[in-house]
A and B are shown apart, each in its own frame.
Chain A
Amino acid sequence: MTLTMSAQVFAITSQFIEDHSGLHYEAVDRELFAQKVSERAIELGFDSLLDYYYLLRYDDQGGRELQKLVEALVVHETYFFRELEPLRVLVTLVIPEMLADRPAVRVWCAACATGEEPYTLAMMVAQAGLRDRVRILASDVSERALDHARAGRYGPRALRRIPANAPFRGWIEDASGVRAPDDMRTQIEWARVNLIDAEAVRALGQFDIVLCRNVLIYFSDPTVVRVAESLREVIRPGGVLVVGTAESLLRYGTAFQCEERCGAFLYRRPAR
């Protein structure tokens, strides 16, 4: 059930969403965007998307409703061991190098969706015997996705790219899929963070490694630049940022130095 969305209403509503969440929509996305927004608008009893926009913009309930709308708009499509090479490089090379001159390494999975990436990393870290020396913070803009991640229950689709000998030690298997072991679920720190909120990002403290994969594609170029700068601030000098394989910061002339390690591309913040 989709309400009519004119080009003008699309322009103002999508701009409003982008200003508050970073999610960027092109004109070709209008139909899908209208469908998602309509679901929320109809649920609240609106029959006009312009009226709904004014609710977001002017009403006291607007902030709360905006969060629900963003929840409906974000894409949670991911799976375990996705884009594995950069994670292998981190666990076998980068983290051991960092641990040579400090007791622990702090990693932030900055757009963890339903949690497959931080769990994958936690498994690989445990397999490498580094579990006690790597602290993982996983965040997402969607509280619903984080609830899913905290629960740690996954169906077959999330497991569709499992490599041979995947280290699912301690995971509980049942008819509907798998469940993460309790100690792993609690070992990962979960937080709701909007990446375009620089204050909120800064409040997380400093990290040695930030994984920000497959999220920059949903942002416009200026937002990517803003977010990259915000991430740079929380990465220690010498620390690294990892983005998705389909994403690249090179065309933005970033302050990071791009380096290739065994086929994986890392963006390193220059040491002071």
Chain B
Amino acid sequence: MTPSLTVSPHERRRSAEVEALFRAGDIGELVNRLTDPSWTVRRAVVSALARLGAAAVAPLSGVITKKRDHEGRIAAAVDALSASLGNVEPQVLELLESADPAVVCDGAQILGRRRYRPALARLAELTESPNENVVMAAIEALGRIGGDAAIDLLIDAVQSKSFFRAFPAIDVLGRTGDPRAVAPLAALLDEPHYGLEAARALGATGQPLALVPLAHLLESNDDARVRVAASAVVEIGERYTEQFGPNEVLTEGLAQVDRSAVDAPIAHALRGADPAARACLCRVIGILGMSSAAPALIELLDADPHAAQAAAQALASLSADADPYLAAALGQSDSERRLLLLPIASRRTSLRNEVLACLRDTHPGVRAVACDALGKQADVNTVPALFELLRDPDARVSQAAVAAIQALGGAETERLALAAARSADPRERRSALRILSYFGWPSARDIFLLGMDDADERIRDLAAVGLAAIDDAPSRQGLVAAASHASARTRAAAIRALGFSRSDGDVRDIVRRALDDEDGWVRYYACQALSRLGDEESAAAIARLLDDPAGQVRVAVIEALAHLRGEQALGALHEASQAADYDIRRAALLGLGSVKNAASLQYIEASLDSPDAATRLVGLSALSEFPAQAPLLRMRAALNDPDDAVRGAAVALLASRPGPEATNILIEGLHDPSMHERILGALSQPAEGRVATILVALRTAEPELAAPLVSALARARRDDAAAALEEAFRFDNVYARRAVVPALAAAGTSTARKLLDAAMTLDSDVHVRRMAGAYLSAG
């Protein structure tokens, strides 16, 4: 890191001084430093004052009431009081009685951030203040505090029709995500002053209940309303997916939309929309299957990447009615647009001729993607056309043609491949050999044997692969002969291929001799081949190459020793796991994972402290080979690894680990927003004791934890998880019950409905009763 671009030495020094002031309890000086020009230092001051708790409350309140000449100081004081460990509420409540509206706003903000429920009544009064800023601050605070009473107050504010009270409350009410927000917000959709804001807020609720009123808005002749409705629909889909995983909520929620009423408004709104709205409109078009919008979507493929991607996704989801538009577009578009259209065409067999025409495009990328599309269309009649591209001058194209032919197969392929293998064009020959070796047809043996004498080294490489695929006596003889070829590359190819052949004494002797070859790659493949052949007797000879001058050989030795096992091999692997060269270390770790000897655990664990992220990742994957023994503390630490891939591997490892401990570590990890989604996925996977452990956590969970735990159960979509949700709905913990309500509504089963029905009248919590009622009344 370059000092000038990160924390400067001065900032570091001042931060250290702040820590010293904290230890000395010097509140006066800390308050003086709330105006430090550095954000980093100010954060340190805020943290120190918050940690000092009660003693700092009065001086900080004094800043808010008496020293209002510096915005930065006031903001920092509000932050410190919001985060304070002390009992700040009595003094902050006094701020709400100030004659200065700015002081009242700060007080409301602090109480909202501290979720101080006893302030609800006073905050409700403040929503009727003549000062707009105070109204806004009070409404924001109500939204932050949440809960049944706050929802009621916000609904009152929304329905008040007093503009400065209702307008900010609309947004805040939407963000609560409460089902009861839907009806009052939907009632405002036709109001000229509130309609757009209410539509946005409906999106923020994430409630599928809001889809019906929003769908009506899609019929509007006003572009702005259609765009906002589309954005809100998409937001509901995203929020619902965050909560319950992949679902069909938008498809189901918009199933009753009258297509004839929305086609024209949506198509009109698409023109001139900003990129974000365009992307949402495309999504809605795709969900509604509006084939008539295909031309507009095709035009959008030239727009900004975000909209182009959305347009491509929408086109892909349209029915066969859109095929004529796509066919015309493929025929008339330039190469760049064809690149975007071809992946869509790959699932539509009616576009075969248009895709075939793209094989002649001047852009090699188009030709390659067209090959890929034909491979996916699974029409063997296109095989001859693909063979034409085996000699394409661009490697991407010939590779794509080979892959497509391999995917299609067919009776004609063998004949065409044998013919192409005799082509005068070396590129075509190489491609044909790839196809022949992939299928391993014995009819190609003579061609492969001839190929071993070809002047082109790459042909000889491929012929060796083909001979290994056939693996009969003449083929092996050809490879044995090639193992002493003058070209090092051909010797390497032959030795590599012999590693895949049936092991006999002659083959092993040839490969063992290759360990002494002058070329590093021959020795590399000799190590690999001997380990594949399971030649335990060669372990000592392989181990002698541990100090080979060629790096790849040293790595191959480690890999080979891991496969060959034995005491000597294990010792060498342990030593290599601490080598200076990270590649050697990683190879050793992979080997230790495959050997699965408990004595290796300490070496694998040590690798998790490596400064090299890839080594830690490999170490973790080696650890996964010891499912019952891998130390959980190490896995917990890996969840906080600075490298994302390592954290992901740790989650995967914990996901499959049985027992309550692993589940509890995953639950702890939910506090990290960057890991939230992955951990939810892991918690929803089946593992012994998983559901039971989640249920234990739910019994005492606070609202922040209850919601994701319920989400994990809902995403699991298994009987045991569904039963757990029903059980959690009977818990004393009201936060668990509140979190379960939307999950039961999402499940939509008859049992879930019965539970909601009972809860609507019998649950002890009014919030649960009302939420259940809201869901049931919406059907």
Residues of A within 8 A of B (CB): 1, 7-8, 10-12, 15, 26-27, 39, 42-43, 45, 47, 51, 54-55, 57-59, 77, 155-157, 160, 222, 225-226, 228-229, 232, 252-255
A residues in contact with B54, CB < 8 Å: none
Contact status B614-A54, CB under 8 Å: no
Query: Do A58 and B550 contact each other (CB < 8 Å), given the known contacts A7-B621, A39-B395, A155-B335?
Result: yes
Stretch with Cβ within 8 A of A (4 or more), from B1-9, B599-607, B699-707: B1-9
CB distance from B429 to the nearest CB of A (A): 14
Contact status A45-B462, CB under 8 Å: yes
Contact status A222-B586, CB under 8 Å: no
Q: Name 19 interchain pairs, CB-CB below 8 A, sorted by A.
A: A1-B400, A1-B403, A8-B586, A8-B617, A8-B621, A10-B645, A12-B582, A12-B614, A15-B614, A42-B395, A57-B552, A58-B552, A77-B305, A155-B334, A155-B335, A157-B337, A225-B1, A229-B5, A252-B5
A77–B305 Cα gap in the complex (Å)?
Answer: 10
A residues in contact with B493, CB < 8 Å: 45
A27–B652 Cα gap in the complex (Å)?
Answer: 13
Contact status A1-B590, CB under 8 Å: no
- Residue among A1, A39, A157, A160 with max Cβ neighbours from chain B (10 Å): A1
A232–B2 Cα gap in the complex (Å)?
Answer: 11
Query: Do A8 and B550 contact each other (CB < 8 Å), given the known contacts A15-B614, A225-B5?
Result: no
A residues in contact with B337, CB < 8 Å: 157
CB distance from B58 to the nearest CB of A (A): 34
The dominant DSSP class at the A interface is helix
B residues in contact with A77, CB < 8 Å: 305
Nearest residue, chain B, Cβ from A40: B395
B residues in contact with A229, CB < 8 Å: 2, 4-5
The dominant DSSP class at the B interface is helix
A residues in contact with B335, CB < 8 Å: 155, 157
- Residue among A7, A10, A229 with max Cβ neighbours from chain B (10 Å): A7
Nearest residue, chain A, Cβ from B404: A1
Interface check B730, CB cutoff 8 A: no
B residues in contact with A26, CB < 8 Å: 644
Interface check B448, CB cutoff 8 A: no
Contact status B5-A254, CB under 8 Å: yes
Interface residues in B, total, Cβ within 8 A: 44
Contact status B2-A225, CB under 8 Å: yes
Residues of B within 8 A of A (CB): 1-2, 4-7, 302, 305, 334-337, 395-396, 399-400, 402-403, 458, 461-462, 465, 489, 493, 520-521, 524, 550-552, 555, 582-583, 586, 590, 613-614, 617-618, 621, 644-645, 648-649
B residues in contact with A157, CB < 8 Å: 302, 334-337
A226–B6 Cα gap in the complex (Å)?
Answer: 11
CB distance from B587 to the nearest CB of A (A): 9
CB distance from A163 to the nearest CB of B (A): 16
CB distance from B340 to the nearest CB of A (A): 11
Which 10 A/B pairs are nearest by Cβ-Cβ distance?
A: A58-B551, A54-B552, A1-B403, A157-B336, A11-B614, A45-B461, A229-B2, A1-B399, A255-B4, A12-B614
A8–B489 Cα gap in the complex (Å)?
Answer: 27
CB distance from A48 to the nearest CB of B (A): 9
A260–B462 Cα gap in the complex (Å)?
Answer: 59
CB distance from B539 to the nearest CB of A (A): 21
Contact status B7-A253, CB under 8 Å: yes
Contact status A8-B336, CB under 8 Å: no
A58–B581 Cα gap in the complex (Å)?
Answer: 11
Nearest residue, chain B, Cβ from A60: B520
